[in-house]
Amino acid sequence: MSKNEISVKDLTVAYQGKTVLNHVSTVIQAQKFTGIIGPNGAGKSTFMKALLELVPKISGEVTFDGRSIKTIRKKIAYVEQRSELDLSFPIDVLGVVLLGTYPSLRLGQRPGKKEKERAKQALAKVDMTDYENRQISELSGGQLQRIFIARALAQGAEWIFLDEPFVGIDAVSERKIFAILDELKNEGKTIVIVHHDLHKVEAYFDEVILLNKELIAAGSVDEVFTSENLQLAYGEIIGQLVKGVMEK
């Protein structure tokens, strides 16, 4: 088993008696870029939240680098869907990135010079230094996503989880963010993304987990992203459509 690999065994999640995820077992490769793909209501976000124990599970075991999540939590960065956050919260860009330093601080300890330096370096890395003092509601979706990535950097996270980071973001920003994430991957971070848009999957991800309430397929993009698997996940028509687009 490679370092920092995430192993998922028999993960089942239910909300109020309805099964959302059924006996999912898979491995998320370390230092790779993994996309969680599937139709609406397939349980993609739930899968991510269940990995991180943000929602209760019925059964299953998830290990990070062979260990329980409890021992490595401070190295996990999670970025929720933008629509779930209150963007009018009284906080500026640097303030958001500084939140990434909180896991390393004691109770009652404030971020000091060292932490501010770390936050500023992270901001520079995502090219957002000029926006340091902006209130977050003034930012575009792409800029916001970049400062959340900067927050993960300031945290020194080994595992970065992003839930639908590209929703409502223009193509230029999307490419920019991907370039940043690619760099992070090359530095050894493990990156997992919930993604709903099929046409960029092959260009962006190394690995894909295809879900529809249960595991349809998992592995490298070439292995998984086939019309047979897509038909299984999305139904016949969409599977064929996507296949058609892919062949052009």
- Min dist. Cβ of residue 109 to other proteins (A): 8
- Please state the separation of Cα 222 from the chain's center in Å: 21
- Min dist. Cβ of residue 147 to other proteins (A): 12
What is the Cα–Cα distance from 221 to 206, expressed in whole angstroms? 6
And the tokens for 219? Answer: 């592995």
Task: Answer whether 62's CB lies under 8 Å from 231's CB.
Answer: no
Using CB under 8 A, which of the segments 78-86, 190-198, 222-230, 234-242 binds other proteins?
Answer: 78-86
Which one, 42 or 144, has the nearer CB to other proteins?
A: 144
Q: What number of chain residues touch other proteins (CB under 8 A)?
A: 33
Which one, 1 or 105, has the nearer CB to other proteins?
A: 105
Which one, 15 or 228, has the nearer CB to other proteins?
A: 15
- Min dist. Cβ of residue 56 to other proteins (A): 10
- Min dist. Cβ of residue 49 to other proteins (A): 8
- Contact status: 52 vs other proteins (CB under 8 A): yes
- Contact status: 84 vs other proteins (CB under 8 A): yes
- Min dist. Cβ of residue 108 to other proteins (A): 5
- Min dist. Cβ of residue 198 to other proteins (A): 26
Tell how strand 18-28 and strand 6-15 pair up. antiparallel
Count CA within 13 A, CB hemisphere, residue 107. 0
- Contact status: 107 vs other proteins (CB under 8 A): yes
- Contact status: 135 vs other proteins (CB under 8 A): yes
Which one, 92 or 206, has the nearer CB to other proteins?
A: 92
- Contact status: 3 vs other proteins (CB under 8 A): no
- Min dist. Cβ of residue 80 to other proteins (A): 5
| DSSP string computed for the chain | --TT-EEEEEEEEEETTEEEEEEEEEEEPTTSEEEEE--TTSSHHHHHHHHTTSS--SEEEEEETTB-GGGTGGGEEEE--GGGS-TTSS-BHHHHHHGGGGGGSPTTPPP-HHHHHHHHHHHHHTT-GGGTTSBGGGS-HHHHHHHHHHHHHHHT-SEEEEESTTTT--HHHHHHHHHHHHHHHHTT-EEEEEE--GGGHHHH-SEEEEEESEEEEEEEHHHH--HHHHHHHH-HHHHHHHHHHHH-
- Contact status: 63 vs other proteins (CB under 8 A): no
- Contact status: 109 vs other proteins (CB under 8 A): yes
- Contact status: 172 vs other proteins (CB under 8 A): no
For other proteins, the binding residues (CB under 8 A) are: 16, 49, 52, 54, 70, 73-74, 76-80, 84-86, 89-92, 95-96, 99, 102-103, 105, 107-110, 135, 151, 155, 161
